[in-house]
Structure 1
Amino acid sequence: MEQDNAGLLKRLRKPSGKDIDVIIDTDTYNEIDDQFALAFLIKSDERLHLKGIYAAPFYNANSSSPADGMEKSYDEILNILTLMKREDLKGIVKKGSTKYLPLETEAVDSPAAKHLAEIAMSYTEDKPLYIVAIGAITNIASALILRPEIKDRIVLVWLGGHAHHWPDTKEFNMFQDVAAARVVFGCGIALVQLPCMGVVSSFTVSGPELEYWLRGKNELCDYLTEYTTKSAIKDGGMPNWTRVVWDVTAVAWLLDGDYMLDRLEPSPIPQYDHHYGFDPNRHFIRYVYHINRDKLFKTLFDTLAK
C-alpha cells in the first residue's frame, strides 16, 4: 500500500521535459472555451504530443440529447482542425459516448473509450499518458471500467466540479454524469482537479482583449473572436461583457510555467444530491486553488496568434 501511494504521489507531480503524450476529451460544441483549449493544446506541440481527441456527450440548449451533443462536438473538432490546417490530426479524432453511465459499474461503449483502454496499456507508471478532460467524464470512466488496470498508467487532468468550499457541485461537467465522476474520484487514479466556481471562474476574457490580441492574426483567431462575441451577445451579455474560457486552464496545468497554484487533498466524494462528501483517509488528488489569470492569458494569446 505504501508503494502504491508513493507511485500515486509521483504521478501527481507536474510532468517535466518535452515528451508528454496527451489525449483531450472535449464537448467542443457546448461552449467556446473548448475551442480555445483544443487549439491551445495543438499549438503547444513543442511540449505536448497529441495522441487522441475524443468527443464528449453533453445536453443543453445547444443539443437535443447527449448523443446529439457528442456528434456536434465531433463535427466542431473537425472544423477547428480544418481552420488550423491540421488535416493530419483528423485520424485520431474519436466519437465518444452517446449517453451517460447508467451505473458506476457499467461502461458506455464507444470508439473513444475503447481507444483509451487500448492505448493506455502501452504506457507505464513511470511514463503515464496524460488526459485533459473538459466535459462530462463519461468516456474516461467507461475506459476505466472496461480495463481497470489502466488507472496506474494514466493521469487525468479534469476541469469539473466546483471548489471544495462551494455549497454544491452543480457544475455542468460533473452535474451531467455523477456516476462517472464517482468512478474517477474513487478508483485511485492520479487526478488533478480544476474546480469551476471559486477557482477557475476567475479566468474570463473581454471583447476588447480579443480584438486587440487575436483579431486579424490568423483564420483561427478570427473565428474564436467572432464566435466568442456572438455567444456573449446571444446570452445577454452587457456591453462590457466578459466570457469564461476556463477550459484552457486544464491544458495549462501541463505546461512549463507558474500559471496556477495547487496542493494535495484527500479525494472528495461526489454525491448524487450534488454535494461533496469528505473523508480524510481517502487517497490524494491534486487540487488547483488559484489561477494566475494575466500570465496565462498572455501565453494563450501569444500561442494562438503564432
Structure 2
Amino acid sequence: MINKKAAHIMYPELDENFRMERLKPRDGIIRMVLDTDTFNEIDDQFALSHALLSPERLRLEAVYAAPFFNDLSNGPKDGMEKSYDEIVHILTRLQRMREGIVFRGSESYLPGAHTPVDSPAARDLVAKALAMPDDEPLYVAAIGAITNVASAILLEPSIIRKIVVIWLGGHALSWRDTKEFNLVQDIHAARVILDSGVPSVLIPCAGVASHLITSLPEIERYVRGRGEIGDFLAERYEGCSSDHFGYSRVIWDLSAVAYLLDPSYVPTDFVHSPLLTDQVTWSVDHGRHFIRCANGVNRDAIFKDLFHKLEEHAQGTR
C-alpha cells in the first residue's frame, strides 16, 4: 500500500497491466450499479430507463441516489431525496421495483479530500464490490456528482481492485476549463476518482457527450406512446422547455450506459489520468496512471438502441 496524494488514505497500488486489463471491453452480461442525480435534469431518467431495458447486456444490481444542488433543490440532501423518489417512479413504471435495489446516497458533498460521507449507497457499493470474484469487476456508472462513489472508496480503499468507474464528468481535456456541473459540485470527490488509481472511464460533457442531442418531434415519434415509461420520458422532455420551436436538448447521461452496452458507441483513448487544478482546469502529468477517456459518441446508434428497446418493451406490455 502506498500513499497517493492523501495524508490519511492509503490506496492500493495497482499494477498498470492489471488496470489496463480491467479496462478492456468484456463480452456477455456485465454486473453494474448506477449512481444518479435523477431529478436534476431529464437525462438521468433516459439513462436509467435505457439500463433497465437492456437485460441482455446489463445486470443492474443497484441504483444510488446522488446529491445535487440547483434551482430544483434546496440543498444536496433535498436533491438526493428527490432523486431517490424519481428512481422509484421509473422502476415502478417499468415494473422493476423490488426490495433492496434503490439506496439513498450522500446528504452532503465531501467536507474534505480524505473524509467520506457515509450513506446506505456508499455502504452498499462497498459490500457489493468486496463480494465480486477477483476475475470480474463491478461496473459503476456515475452520472452525477461522484460523492457516493468517492465515499465508498474512502471508506474501503481496497475496492479499487474490484470496480471499474464510468463517470460523466468534466469537459473535454482540451477545453479551456472543466467547470462542469457534475464535477464542480464536489471537487474533492472528483479528485478521489482521478487520484486513487481506480480503473476509470472518463466521459467528458462539453466536446463529447454534448453531441447526444434530440428534439421534441423525435421524442414524439419514437418515445411517446411506448408504454408507461415512454409517456413518462416524453412528458419529462416536453416539460424541459416552454418553447420547442427549433429547440433541441442534450441527453448527456445516456453516454455512460451506452459505453457499457457497446464500447463502440462511445470510443475512447488511453490517456494519463488528468490532474484537476485549483483553477478547475485539466493539467497533464505523464507520470500518472492510465484511464480511458471518451473522444466521441455515436449519437445515432445510441438513440436507435434506446428507441428500439422502448418499442420492444411497449409491444411486450400490450
Q: TM-score range by the shorter chain?
A: over 0.9
Q: How far is 1:138 from its partner? A: 0.3
**Residue 52 of structure 2 corresponds to which residue in structure 1?**
42
**Residue 79 of structure 1 corresponds to which residue in structure 2?**
89
Q: How far is 1:271 from its partner? A: 2.2
Q: How far is 1:114 from its partner? A: 0.8
Question: Relative to structure 1, is the Cα distance of residues 2 and 171 closer, same or farther in structure 2, using a 3 angstrom cutoff?
Answer: closer
**Residue 152 of structure 2 corresponds to which residue in structure 1?**
143
Q: How far is 1:124 from its partner? A: 3.9
CA distance in structure 2 between the partners assigned to 1:292 and 1:93 by the alignment: 30
**Residue 305 of structure 2 corresponds to which residue in structure 1?**
299
**Residue 10 of structure 1 corresponds to which residue in structure 2?**
21
**Residue 286 of structure 1 corresponds to which residue in structure 2?**
292
Question: Relative to structure 1, is the Cα distance of residues 29 and 3 closer, same or farther in structure 2, using a 3 angstrom cutoff?
Answer: closer
Any idea what the Cα deviations from partners look like across 1:112-135, whole Å, max 9, x if unmatched? 011111111011442110001000
Letter in 1 for 2:282: Y
Q: Are 2:222 and 1:213 aligned?
A: yes
CA distance in structure 2 between the partners assigned to 1:258 and 1:169 by the alignment: 25
**Residue 316 of structure 2 corresponds to which residue in structure 1?**
none
Query: In the alignment, is the contact (CA less than 8 A) between 1:214 and 1:301 conserved in 2?
Result: yes
**Residue 4 of structure 2 corresponds to which residue in structure 1?**
none
Q: Are 2:245 and 1:239 aligned?
A: yes
Q: What does 1:204-283 correspond to in 2, within 5 Å?
A: 204-233=213-242, 237=243, 239-256=245-262, 258-283=264-289
* 3-state DSSP of counterpart to 1:279: coil
Stretches (4+) displaced over 4 A: none
Query: In the alignment, is the contact (CA less than 8 A) between 2:13 and 2:197 conserved in 1?
Result: no
Query: In the alignment, is the contact (CA less than 8 A) between 2:216 and 2:244 conserved in 1?
Result: no
Between stretches 282-291 and 266-275, larger displacement belongs to 266-275
Query: In the alignment, is the contact (CA less than 8 A) between 1:22 and 1:51 conserved in 2?
Result: yes
Q: How far is 1:2 from its partner? A: 10
Q: Are 2:194 and 1:185 aligned?
A: yes
* 3-state DSSP of counterpart to 1:258: helix
Q: Are 2:122 and 1:116 aligned?
A: no
Letter in 2 for 1:204: I
Q: How far is 1:257 from its partner? A: 6.0
Letter in 1 for 2:201: V
* TM-score (norm: length of structure 1): 0.95
RMSD over aligned CA atoms reads 1.5
CA distance in structure 2 between the partners assigned to 1:12 and 1:252 by the alignment: 15
**Residue 5 of structure 2 corresponds to which residue in structure 1?**
none
Question: Relative to structure 1, is the Cα distance of residues 39 and 146 closer, same or farther in structure 2, using a 3 angstrom cutoff?
Answer: same
In structure 1, runs of 5+ residues without a counterpart are none
Between stretches 269-278 and 24-33, larger displacement belongs to 269-278
Any idea what the Cα deviations from partners look like across 1:76-104, whole Å, max 9, x if unmatched? 0001111112122x521000000000111
**Residue 112 of structure 2 corresponds to which residue in structure 1?**
103
In structure 2, runs of 5+ residues without a counterpart are 1-11, 313-318
Question: Relative to structure 1, is the Cα distance of residues 266 and 125 closer, same or farther in structure 2, using a 3 angstrom cutoff?
Answer: farther
Query: In the alignment, is the contact (CA less than 8 A) between 1:107 and 1:141 conserved in 2?
Result: yes
Letter in 1 for 2:301: K
Any idea what the Cα deviations from partners look like across 1:157-183, whole Å, max 9, x if unmatched? 000010000011110000100000000
**Residue 52 of structure 1 corresponds to which residue in structure 2?**
62
Any idea what the Cα deviations from partners look like across 1:202-226, whole Å, max 9, x if unmatched? 1111111001111212111111111
Q: What does 1:185-204 correspond to in 2, within 5 Å?
A: 185-204=194-213
* TM-score (norm: length of structure 2): 0.92
Query: In the alignment, is the contact (CA less than 8 A) between 2:106 and 2:118 conserved in 1?
Result: yes
The size of the alignment, in residue pairs, is 301
CA distance in structure 2 between the partners assigned to 1:246 and 1:3 by the alignment: 31
Between stretches 78-87 and 140-149, larger displacement belongs to 78-87
- Identity across aligned pairs (percent)? 48
CA distance in structure 2 between the partners assigned to 1:299 and 1:197 by the alignment: 23
Q: How far is 1:238 from its partner? A: 5.1
**Residue 30 of structure 1 corresponds to which residue in structure 2?**
40
* 3-state DSSP of counterpart to 2:87: helix
